[in-house]
Amino acid sequence: MERAISSRDIGLLRDAHAGTTELDDVELLYRLYGAKVTRFLAFSLNDSDAAETLTQECFLKAYRARAQFRGECAVGTWLIRIAFNLMRDHTGTEKFKFWKRVRAQAVDVHEVGERLAGQQRTAESQMLTRERLAAVWAAVETLSARQRSVFLMRFVEEMEMQEIVEATGMQMGTVKSHLHRALAAVRERSAMGGLQ
Amino acid sequence: MSVIFSSKDRHLTDEELDAVVMGDGNAHASHVQECEACRARLEEMRAMVGSFREGVLLWSPSESKATTGVLRLAQDDGKKRYGWRMMPVMALAAALVVGVMTPHWMQERSANETAAKTMPGTGIAPMSQKRDMGHPQTQTVQTPAAQPVNDDALMQQVQQQLDESVPASMAPLTALIQTEDPHKAARQAKEN
């Protein structure tokens, strides 16, 4: 689960919005947003190794570009935007494809499902939780990388539609289209699994 | 003739329901409030997406590995940046060293050249060469009356330094070099 935001974190955000150099503290920045960025990349790429590598690049890029951050959006949104652009730039390259074949480490959704089910009280709710997660994940796997990223931004990171537009550089209509496609896939999978 | 139904007259389509799930379906909010079937569909979709979100949030990367990598990269980057920032400072320092030391080095070089051109037997360069060799800022203007006195003192000092630089055991050889007649030099060495 996301950890609580401390007063120092709030200070970081305030100072970052004020355009000061608090973003110089890359350790704190990573502590606050590292999991968020890695998670977004891991589920977008379905590759935890690639996610770790791109997360490092993301924070390095953010660290280098910290002077350019004007606080026009949340720090987390800014980082997700950098991560999305990195993913777009890297995933098409032959080097990345080769490296991904060699090191691919898919996210273990089964393990995630077990952990999530473990939080439920009854056996029935545990099974339902596992099935729902599996159905959505199966649907998400059928999406393109961009559709998946948009879906994760909206329904996992809970970014506003306008934030997604800013993070991806897509038109609002395109974002909505990707989300409709993703939800249609989820509905289709849930119907197949007898959940609806 | 087609009949256009409003959302109050029928159940929501999948697209309309998706718009509500996405947070973009305010126009259908009142229907969802009133229609139990559509509300159930909406809640199921939200439960599906909610389960997925909770599952993803439970997943955590190997943080120590990633953190180490991020910090190392940032530190490396910091070093590179520091290096670039230091370049103008280092260039300025180099320029200062060159500016300050060049006259000194030139003085030493001229002194060596002068020593090489010393008059046989005296080892002393003409003072006309020495007068132009000092640091521009430290060079003093000498009056014509004081100049011969200073020149004599300087000549004595140079001679003394040259004498001191030759060990006593090597003195006979020095005498040989400074004298054209080797037999005469040998006699002088014996006398010494």
Give the Cα separation of B95 and B97 in Å (integer). Answer: 5
A3 exposed, middle or buried (CB, 10 Å; 0-12, 13-18, 19+)? exposed
Nearest-by-Cβ selection for B48 from A52, A107, A190: A190
Task: Return the pLDDT at B129.
Answer: 47
Alpha helices in A68-122 (DSSP H): 75-91, 94-103, 109-117
More confident residue, B61 or B46: B46
- pLDDT, tens only, B112-144: 777 666 555 554 544 444 444 444 444 444 555
> What is the b/e burial string over A43-63, where b = at least 16 CB atoms within 10 angstroms of the residue's CB?
bbbbbbbbbbbbbbbbbbbbb
Residue of A nearest to B16 (CA): A180
> What is the b/e burial string over A116-141, where b = at least 16 CB atoms within 10 angstroms of the residue's CB?
bbeeeeeeeebebbbbbbbbbbbbbe
Whole-number average pLDDT of chain A: 80
Is residue B167 pLDDT above 90, yes or no?
A: no
- Cα A48 off chain centre by: 12
Question: Does residue A61 sit at the B interface (CB-CB below 8 Å)?
Answer: no
Contact yes or no for B22 and A51 at CB 8 A? no
- pLDDT, tens only, A114-156: 777 777 778 888 888 888 888 898 898 899 888 999 999 999 9
Say if the ipTM goes beyond 0.85: no
Nearest-by-Cβ selection for B60 from A35, A156, A186: A35
Give the Cα separation of A23 and A9 in Å (integer). Answer: 11
Nearest-by-Cβ selection for B70 from A43, A59, A112: A59
Task: Return the pLDDT at B133.
Answer: 46
The DSSP secondary-structure symbol of B2 reads -
B24: left (phi over 0), alpha (psi -120 to 50) or beta: alpha
Residues from B in contact with A at Cβ < 8 Å: 14-15, 18-19, 21-24, 41, 44-45, 47-49, 51-63, 65-67, 69-71, 73-74, 77
More confident residue, A29 or A17: A29
- Cα A127 off chain centre by: 26
More confident residue, A107 or A82: A82
The DSSP secondary-structure symbol of B180 reads S
Q: How confident is the model at residue B28 (pLDDT cuts 50, 70, 90)?
A: confident
- pLDDT, tens only, A170-187: 999 999 999 999 999 999
Residue of B nearest to A125 (CA): B51
Task: Return the pLDDT at B95.
Answer: 76
> What is the b/e burial string over B50-66, where b = at least 16 CB atoms within 10 angstroms of the residue's CB?
ebbbbbbbbbebeeeeb
Is residue A188 pLDDT above 60, yes or no?
A: yes
Task: Return the pLDDT at B138.
Answer: 45
Test mutation, A21, A27, A59, A188, chain B, max B CBs within 10 A:
A59
Nearest-by-Cβ selection for A183 from B21, B57, B66: B21
Nearest-by-Cβ selection for A132 from B14, B47, B61: B47
Test mutation, B42, B60, B62, B70, chain A, max A CBs within 10 A:
B70
Question: Does residue A26 sit at the B interface (CB-CB below 8 Å)?
Answer: yes
Alpha helices in chain A (DSSP H): 7-17, 26-45, 48-64, 75-91, 94-103, 109-117, 123-141, 145-155, 161-168, 172-192
For residues B45 and A151, the answer to whether their CB atoms sit within 8 Å is no
Contact yes or no for A56 and B70 at CB 8 A? yes
For residues A113 and B55, the answer to whether their CB atoms sit within 8 Å is yes
Contact yes or no for B69 and A52 at CB 8 A? yes
- What residues of chain B lie within 8 A of the CB of A184, using their CB? 14, 18
* Whole-structure pTM value: 0.59
Whole-number average pLDDT of chain B: 68
Of B3, B5, B7, B4, the C-alpha closest to B20 is B7
